[in-house]
Amino acid sequence: MNFPGEIESKLPHIGTTIFTTMSKMASDYNAINLSQGFPDFDCSPELISLVDQYMRKGFNQYAPLAGVIPLLDSIVEKMEKLHGIKYNPATELTVCAGATQAIYTAIMAVVKRDDDVIIFDPSYDSYGPSVELCGGKPIHISLDYPEYKIDWEYVKTRINDKTRMIVINTPSNPAGVVLEENDMKQLEAIVEGTEILILSDEVYEHIIFDGRVHQSVAMYPKLAERAFITYSFGKTFHATGWKVGYCLAPENLMKEFKKVHQFNVFTVNTAVQMALAEFLKNEDNYIGLPSFYQEKRDLFSQVISASRFSFVASEGTYFQLVNYKDISDLSEMEFAIWLTKEKGVGAIPVSVFHRSKLDEKVVRFSFSKKLETIEQAGELICKI
């Protein structure tokens, strides 16, 4: 049955997400799925046990809108340990149904019709559509492969009196690049004296390599006072399907955030929150994540080093971009499909992360896999 009238799409250029498409294709063709960014290994048995315990203790009804108090307190303690920054758990923090919901909620809370929002491509695919849904205008700035460094002098030329927000992502998906202290200071100088807000997507905060230090916006008071910062427990604790994250912001911004949050989610799974609150208190549960994933990155780099792909080792996240210009003239989408169907390895074309669909012969692999999965995928990749 179809509605007889015409439906004007609010997102006419958007179809099914590439992650759904490529993961289904990997399943259909029995390919190793290095496309969608989720682990093929289990999360901590202790964490699962804690969820079970709290369910059995009766924590199965609605949690408070902003989150259960033990988890809010644990998050605040973690931020203070890591960055020396004290957030108010009652007024500057909200637990969300994953970081994507937090990003959407932050944008919907403050971006109005015809506001400009600066986004750096290649970018996580939810940013632009979220801006469009509230009537804003995404201003996409393309960064150059393979360094993907931001030219802050150029950014200045794209700012005007309609600029409402700048979105940053560090470590960045899909580029795997980490912003440095100098980037933060230049951003700080650009927004000083303006009413421009910052949305900082920091879901891969602990997945960072080679001794680099995560430069959280929270560490820079002049940025933090105008920033929404989003995080993901799913990424940190290998439980992406639980869809639990959080957002930090100063009280005046968080007040607006909660107004939207109460109507698009209201609250998040209570037993999982209670379990995370307890699990988070032991910093050993997240402090070793850089070395855990660096082992996987290094192994993946090693096993594909003999292939015909070229690449620069990822600085952070659990993604590795590779260039296939010496292998094929196919477009990125065609090549990703061919890889999956014919060679048994799923990948994501990086062009989908560019609004312009810029095609640089680059695809993204995820190494958030068991070591044996990485080795099996590497053997297949080296035969291409």
Q: What is the pLDDT of residue 276?
A: 98
Helix (H/G/I), strand (E/B), else coil: 252: helix
One-letter identity of residue 56: R
Which residue from 215, 233, 166 is spatially nearest to 195, judged by alpha carbons? Answer: 166
Helix (H/G/I), strand (E/B), else coil: 357: coil
H-assigned helices in the chain: 18-28, 45-56, 69-83, 99-110, 127-133, 152-157, 181-191, 221-224, 233-236, 251-264, 270-280, 284-287, 289-304, 332-338, 371-382
Q: What is the pLDDT of residue 8?
A: 87
Structure-token match 């669909």, residue found: 357
Phi, psi torsion values for 194, nearest 5 degrees = -115, 175
Domains of the chain: 18-43+287-382 (3.90.1150.10), 45-282 (3.40.640.10)
CB atoms within 10 A of CB 76: 19
Tens-of-pLDDT digits for all 384 residues of the chain? 566 677 889 998 888 888 888 899 999 999 999 998 999 999 999 999 999 999 999 999 999 999 999 999 999 999 999 999 999 999 999 999 999 999 999 999 999 999 999 999 999 999 999 999 999 999 999 999 999 999 999 999 999 999 999 999 999 999 999 999 999 999 999 999 999 999 999 999 999 999 999 999 999 999 999 999 999 999 999 999 999 999 999 999 999 999 999 999 999 999 999 999 999 999 999 999 999 999 999 999 999 999 999 999 999 999 999 999 999 999 999 999 999 999 999 999 999 999 999 899 999 999 999 999 999 999 999 999
**Token digits for 369?**
């896999």
Q: What is the pLDDT of residue 66?
A: 98
Quote the radius of gyration of the chain (alpha carbons, Å).
Answer: 21
**Token digits for 113?**
């019709």
CB atoms within 10 A of CB 7: 7
pTM of the model: 0.96
DSSP at 46? H
Q: Is 40 exposed, middle or buried (0-12, 13-18, 19+ CB in 10 A)?
A: middle
Tell me how far the alpha carbon of residue 159 is from its chain's centroid: 24
List beta partners, residue 228: 199
Q: What is the pLDDT of residue 139?
A: 98
In the chain, DSSP assigns E strands to: 32-33, 93-96, 116-121, 137-142, 163-169, 197-201, 227-232, 245-248, 319-323, 345-346, 348-349, 362-366
Sign of CA dihedral 94, 200, 80, 286: positive
Query: How many Å apart are CA 354 and CA 350, to the nearest integer?
Result: 7
99-110 vs 251-264: helix crossing angle, rounded to 10: 110
Say which residues have a Cβ less than 8 Å from residue 183's Cβ, sequence separation at least 6.
150, 152, 170, 215
**Token digits for 327?**
């292998």
